[in-house]
Amino acid sequence: MSWRGYVKDDARLRESHWHWDWLDGCFGPTRISPMDVDFVVERRGFFLIIETKPPGYVFKPNDGQLGCLRSMSARWNAAVVILWGERDLPTQAAHLVPGRQLQPQRVDRDRIRSLVSQWFEAVEADLFHQWKMSLWRSGLGL
């Protein structure tokens, strides 16, 4: 079975989920704990990272996952988007911009498909940095 099969088979995905509590104490007296990322693709050294949250989810101040995602977004070769909505039905999205508050915008699946296609086209045309800067200037740029 391919990895896609695992992702589409909920029971198998749960069975393959690792529990990292056996690493407790490895990070000294901190509250560091592992996180997952819901979607990552790489093309030609550039990354598109998408994290999903249920409708109405609000990140807490100093949220470790949000901090990690912000750090990823600040990298020259990565774009990070957060989607809110029910499973497979995004209703809001925000592109992470270093130093700015999240600014969710109303979206639907077509807008997200367009965003992902724009990312791919920009990477293929060696225009990723221009595309990313346009997102930073205009939110999701859609």
For residue 135 the two structure tokens come to: 């997102």
Q: Is residue 87 in a domain?
A: yes
Tell me: pLDDT of 129 over 70.
Answer: yes
Residue 4 is predicted with a pLDDT of 52
Rounded to an integer, what distance in angstroms lies between the CA atom of residue 112 and that of residue 20? 32
Q: Is residue 53 in a domain?
A: yes
Q: Is residue 1 in a domain?
A: no
Mean pLDDT to the nearest integer, 52-78: 93
Q: Is residue 17 in a domain?
A: no
Quote the domain boundaries for residue 85. 35-138
Question: pTM of the predicted model, to two decimals?
Answer: 0.86
Angle ∠(85,36,58) on CA atoms, nearest 5: 40
- Cα–Cα distances (Å) from 118 to 122, 125, 127, in that order, read 6, 10, 10
Number of structural domains found in the chain: 1
Q: Is residue 103 in a domain?
A: yes
